[in-house]
């Protein structure tokens, strides 16, 4: 808790008091759109792009959250500012937006004043996400193909970022069964590579970057950043139908997501990719990313890893004290 607050449907409340009703559509149906953004040097990265995607998801779900995109953006900055004061300077933040349709109408009599969408904006110190991730920048990740397929867009469109994520969870569970810590990349029903449960995938062959066509995937904001950085670096990048064959021929494989930006694949389906180390294209993109955001995310994650045990101790202590006084 440590003094942080959450924007909760128009009010700012302490984190532990930001409770959603058990009758909310989010719990009943997974009927909720969301976004994950991060800061670099305290500044949100591509916040407007993330919110564009959130409002795209809301349009698909036919939810009017009651705030314009500009109002959501302004409230995000207020939430961040309120919480930044609770941490040491230099801490970066995870920013999460969650919007559900609100309580299910059949239980509406519980709210005689009327129901409305549940809108939350929360920010969390990035130390817990990145401190636990730090070693992966060195080791890379082992990518496997789970039995769970990606859903084709004509059934459930992955371009909308929603909390209906059981297929992602299944992929994760199956990935763990294949190998502890393995990262599962789902294929679509046509047999083409799609995405991981929280990341986009790229292959590098003979100096060209290949990535799945955007049909059945979330079009990651970090994926967009790879396109920008590749263009800036003069590295050709192509969207294509990719399969196991292409992945096993790749010189490099990498994954992208908002929190860690980019991490290399050490192996694919049990076979080492290149020499298993971070390859030259991943190196160049990582360096270009650092320059772009003004933060060395790799050394930052290592610093967070060192500081994490102490941070957790303080956090738990502060929460114990807060609970004791309530
Ligand atoms: C299914 C899925 N694909 C890809 C991504 C990567 O998107 P971004 O780069 O916008 O974080 C995410 C992020 O959470 C995701 O959930």
Note whether 290 and 181 are same-domain residues.
yes
Which residue range is the domain that position 112 belongs to? Answer: 5-125
Task: Supply the residue whose CA is at minimum distance from atom 12 of ligand 1.
Answer: 198
Q: How far is the CA of 14 from the centre of ligand 1 (A)?
A: 28
Residues 90 and 176 in one domain: no
User: Which atom of ligand 1 lies at the shortest distance from residue 158's CA?
Assistant: 1
155 alpha carbon – ligand 1 mean position (Å): 19
243 belongs to a structural domain: yes
Share of the chain above pLDDT 70, in %: 99
Same domain, 113 and 231: no
Residue 103 sits in the same domain as residue 142: no
Q: What is the pLDDT of residue 88?
A: 87
- pLDDT, average across residues 54-64: 97
Q: How confident is the model at residue 326 (pLDDT cuts 50, 70, 90)?
A: confident
Tell me how crowded residue 14 is: count the other CB atoms within 10 A of its CB.
15
Q: Ligand 1 centroid to 197 CA: how many Å?
A: 8
Predicted pLDDT at 187: 98
Task: List, for residues 67-87, the tens digit of each pLDDT value.
Answer: 999 999 999 999 999 999 999
For ligand 1, atom 5, the nearest C-alpha belongs to 199
Q: Residue 90: is its pLDDT beyond 90?
A: no
- The domain tally of the chain equals 2
User: In this structure, are 43 and 108 located in the same domain?
Assistant: yes
**Same domain for 36 and 83?**
yes
Tell me, in angstroms, the distance from the centre of ligand 1 to residue 199's CA: 5
The number of residues making up the chain comes to 326
Same domain, 242 and 158: yes
Place of tokens 């559900």: 100
For 10, phi then psi, to 5°, come to 100, -10
pLDDT confidence tier of residue 324, bands split at 50, 70 and 90: confident
CB contact at 8 A, 256 and 222: yes
Write the pLDDT tens digit of every residue in 204-228. Answer: 999 999 999 999 999 999 999 999 9
Nearest to 26 by CA among 43, 9, 3: 9
CB atoms within 10 A of CB 272: 13
- For residues 234 and 259, membership in a common domain is answered with yes
Q: Which pLDDT does position 1 carry in this prediction? A: 47
Chain segment 167-184, per-residue pLDDT in tens: 999 999 999 999 999 999
Q: Mark whether 117 and 160 lie in a shared domain.
A: no
Please check the confidence at residue 125 and state whether its pLDDT lies above 70: yes
Ligand 1 center–CA 324 separation, angstroms: 38
- Classify the phi-psi angles of 114: left when phi > 0, otherwise alpha if psi is within -120 to 50, otherwise beta: left
Give residue 89's pLDDT band: very low, low, confident or very high (50, 70, 90). Answer: confident
- So what's the pLDDT on residue 100? 98
Contacts 24+ apart (CB under 8 A), 297-302: 297/40, 297/130, 297/260, 297/261, 298/134, 298/137, 300/92, 300/130, 301/130, 301/131, 301/133, 301/134, 301/137, 301/260, 302/134
Rounded to an integer, what is the distance from CA 195 to the centroid of its chain? 13
State whether 159 and 245 are in the same domain. Answer: yes
Q: Which residues contact 154 (CB under 8 A, 6 or more apart)?
A: none
Residue 186 lies in a domain: yes
In a domain, 317, yes or no: no
315: in domain: no
Atom 15 of ligand 1 has which residue's CA nearest to it?
A: 198
**253 neighbors 265 (Cβ within 8 angstroms):** yes
Location of structure tokens 């500009």:
70
Give CA–CA dist 13/82, Å, rounded: 11
- 316 belongs to a structural domain: no
Q: Which of 200, 226, 260 to mutate to test the pocket of ligand 1 (most atoms within 8 A of CB)?
A: 200
Report the CATH number that the domain containing residue 294 is assigned in CATH: 3.20.10.10
- Nearest ligand 1 atom to alpha carbon 256: 9
Instruction: Give the CATH number, domain containing residue 104.
Output: 3.30.470.10
- Among 92, 125, 158, residue at a domain's last position: 125
- The answer on 71 and 164 residing in a single domain is no
In this prediction, residue 34 has a pLDDT band, given cuts at 50, 70 and 90, of: very high
- For residue 63, is it within any domain? yes
Among 70, 100, 125, the domain boundary falls at: 125
Looking at the structure, do residues 58 and 198 belong to the same domain, yes or no?
no
* pLDDT score of 325: 81
């Amino acid at each position: 808790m440590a003094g942080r607050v959450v924007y909760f449907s128009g009010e700012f409340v302490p984190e532990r008091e930001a409770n959603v009703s058990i009758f909310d559509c989010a719990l009943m149906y997974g009927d909720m759109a969301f976004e994950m953004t991060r800061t670099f040097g305290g500044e949100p990265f591509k916040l407007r792009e993330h919110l564009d995607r959130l409002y795209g998801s809301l349009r698909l779900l036919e939810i009017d959250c009651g705030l314009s995109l500009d109002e959501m953006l302004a409230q995000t900055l207020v939430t961040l500012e309120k919480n930044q004061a609770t941490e040491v300077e230099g801490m970066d933040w995870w920013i999460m937006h969650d919007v559900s349709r609100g309580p299910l109408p059949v239980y509406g009599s519980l709210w005689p004043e009327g129901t409305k969408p549940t809108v939350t904006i929360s920010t969390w110190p990035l130390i817990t996400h990145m401190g636990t991730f730090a070693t992966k920048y060195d080791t890379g990740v082992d990518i496997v193909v789970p039995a769970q397929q990606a859903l084709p867009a004509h059934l459930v469109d992955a371009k909308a970022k929603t909390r209906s994520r059981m297929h992602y969870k299944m992929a994760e569970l199956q990935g763990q069964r294949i190998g502890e810590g393995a990262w599962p990349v789902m294929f679509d029903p046509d047999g083409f590579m799609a995405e991981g449960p929280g990341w986009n995938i790229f292959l590098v062959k003979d100096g060209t970057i290949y990535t799945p066509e955007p049909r059945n995937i979330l079009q990651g904001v970090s994926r967009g950043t790879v396109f920008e950085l590749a263009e800036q670096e003069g590295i050709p990048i192509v969207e294509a139908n990719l399969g196991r064959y292409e992945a096993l021929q790749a010189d490099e494989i990498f994954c992208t997501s908002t929190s860690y930006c980019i991490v290399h694949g050490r192996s694919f389906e049990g076979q080492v990719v290149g020499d298993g180390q971070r390859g030259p294209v991943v190196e160049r993109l990582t360096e270009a990313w650092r320059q772009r955001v003004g933060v060395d995310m790799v050394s930052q994650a290592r610093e967070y890893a060192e500081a994490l045990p102490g941070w957790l101790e303080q956090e738990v202590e502060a929460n114990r004290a807060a609970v004791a006084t309530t």
